Amino acid sequence: MIDFAMSKEQQMVRNEVAKLVKGVVVDTAHDMDEERHIPPAAIQKAWELGFSISMIPESYGGFGLKDSPVETALILEELACGDMAFALAVMLPSLFIHPIAEMGTEDQKEKYLPLYCGETYKPCTLAIQEPHVGSDPVDLETTAERQGKAYVLNGKKCFVPGAAKAGHMLVAAALDGENNLFIVSGDVPGMTVGAKEKNLGLYALDTFEVSFKDCAIPMENRLGGEDGCAYDQLIQKSRVAMAAIGTGVSRASLEFVKDYAKQRVQFGEPIVHRQSVAFMLAEMAYEVDAMRLMTWKAASRLEAGKDAARESYLAKLYTGEMAMKVTDYGVQVMGGHGYIRDYPVERYYRNGRGISILEGIATL
């Protein structure tokens, strides 16, 4: 069945998020970026909508609703259209909660889910990316070694969102050449969280380098127990999540310059009356649609329980490329004004650069 329409329920969810974004993000995104800080109250407000825990069984503190990657993609696009850093901060606990719920053992679910599925937002995170050229989420340099009743982690991670305040994090490491995830408590010896990173974009999001030196964790903390976990599935979800976010950032730039170009008068008429400007906007419009359709297609496969290796890969690749193109056009349409930080398009451009580079900082 091929269907391009949103269901009533999906529209409702999207509208709910749009309302939240309008209420707590639109007017504050600029200040959050300048101050490199997101007010906890805004995050709490978003948390109360329950996106991260809706699919968690009630017995663990969630709502026990059906898991819907498509719905989550809609949520992420909408949040990121407001602000990408805000979107990532709000959805941060999903990075820990969802893999545990989907791939954890019964004991792991029972032990960790209730800690983070409460009424209050509590940071927990995921560490995948590594701070070197050629970092690849499926070709990890961080290792885990079995020593007696423990796994010993060694290696370095970067762009770990919320690491400083996270009670727990999942750490991706290679165990005998196989990719695995390990549950690591925030205060474990051998783990060092560095200073807050300074990055090209996402000023408002706290990200950190985290290093592991002979960091021993209990053997029962291997996600999925002795069998390990379906690591590639997490990568697929993370890629589609980034694609949804890329769509949102690009849409934000498009919507902003669409209005600007209609109002900005040069040579006696709005600049949008010129083909050179109008054609850029036309291209932005169909590329944002294409990004969304690529995202939905991959998310739909995941929702149907199918493998989405190809679709998630292409969706992230495409949205990564197009987020650059669209947000670049956004700056270009505004000329000098686009370069000035009074306007949001330079922020979209900086943040948009992250879509193709960042891995494992969002999930469905």
Angle at 148 between CA 152 and CA 218, to 5 degrees: 55
Which of 103, 359, 362, 364 touches another protein (CB under 8 A)? Answer: 359
Stretch that binds another protein, among 9-17, 209-217, 292-300, 338-346 (CB under 8 A): 292-300
Binding flag, residue 353, another protein (CB under 8 A):
no
Binding flag, residue 267, another protein (CB under 8 A):
no
| Distance from C-alpha of 22 to C-alpha of 186, rounded to nearest angstrom | 34
**What are the two backbone dihedrals, phi and then psi, of residue 226, each rounded to the nearest 5 degrees?**
-65, -20
| Distance from C-alpha of 83 to C-alpha of 345, rounded to nearest angstrom | 11
**Run of H or E residues at 153:** strand 150-161
Rounded to an integer, what is the distance from CA 262 to the centroid of its chain? Answer: 32
Taking residue 290's Cβ as centre, other Cβ atoms within 10 Å add up to 14
Q: Using an 8 Å Cβ cutoff, are 140 and 172 in contact?
A: yes
Which of 11, 58, 289, 335 touches another protein (CB under 8 A)? Answer: 289
Shortest CB 38 distance to another protein, Å: 28
Shortest CB 243 distance to another protein, Å: 11
Stretch that binds another protein, among 29-37, 93-101, 218-226, 278-286 (CB under 8 A): 278-286
Q: Which is nearer to another protein, 120 or 275 (CB)?
A: 275
For residue 41, the 8-state DSSP code is: H
Binding flag, residue 65, another protein (CB under 8 A):
no
Residues 222-251 that bind another protein (CB under 8 A): 232, 235
Stretch that binds another protein, among 1-9, 110-118, 164-172, 205-213 (CB under 8 A): 1-9
Shortest CB 313 distance to another protein, Å: 4
As beta bridge partners, residue 182 has: 171, 222
Q: Using an 8 Å Cβ cutoff, are 110 and 91 in contact?
A: no
The packing angle between helices 106-116 and 94-103, to 10°, is 150
> Which residues would be at the binding site for another protein (CB under 8 A)?
1-5, 134-139, 232, 235, 258, 261-262, 272-273, 275, 278-279, 281-283, 285-287, 289-291, 293-294, 297, 309-310, 313-315, 317-318, 321, 356-357, 359
